[in-house]
């Protein structure tokens, strides 16, 4: 349900914006997602930009729907929308559990 077109891989992002997307997903406990390294395929790199009509990489898709790039994902993370969008996909954000742990203290 989560796909990221990025520079590099989740284990080794090759640009700061791709790294930020990986870190945001990791914060939410999203480990099981498909990542495509656009640096390996120039046709894919240009094709995904044409498909989404979005000029930059990384690009994040939730359930096949284009969400945005690093800036959009960061904004969704900060305002809580990402938790809700993940819930729609049947993914419980790890941040919800972290909040519960904080409340217990």
Q: What is the pLDDT of residues 5-59, one digit of tens each?
A: 999 999 999 999 999 999 999 999 999 999 999 999 999 999 999 999 999 999 9
Instruction: Report the SS3 class of residue 18.
Output: helix
Task: Provide the H-helix boundaries in the chain.
Answer: 16-27, 42-52, 70-79, 81-88, 94-104
For residues 82 and 88, the answer to whether their CB atoms sit within 8 Å is: no
Domain residue spans of the chain = 1-102
Residue 64 has pLDDT above 80, yes or no: yes
> Alpha carbon of 10 to those of 4, 14, 34, 72, 78: distances in Å?
9, 9, 9, 18, 21
| 15 known member of a binding site | yes
> Is the full-model pTM beyond 0.85?
yes
Encoded tokens for 31: 């480990």
Peptide bond into 12 cis (omega under 30): no
Looking at domain 1-102, does it have CATH number 3.40.50.620? no
């Amino acid at each position: 349900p989560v796909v990221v077109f990025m520079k590099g891989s989740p284990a080794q992002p090759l640009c700061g914006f791709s790294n930020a997307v990986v870190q945001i997903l990791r914060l939410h406990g999203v480990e099981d997602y498909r990542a495509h390294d656009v640096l390996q395929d120039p046709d894919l790199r240009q094709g995904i930009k044409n498909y989404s009509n979005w000029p930059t990489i990384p690009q994040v898709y939730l359930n096949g729907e284009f969400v945005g790039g690093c800036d959009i994902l960061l904004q969704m993370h900060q305002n809580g929308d990402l938790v809700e969008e993940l819930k729609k996909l049947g993914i419980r954000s790890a941040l919800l559990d972290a909040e519960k742990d904080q409340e217990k203290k």
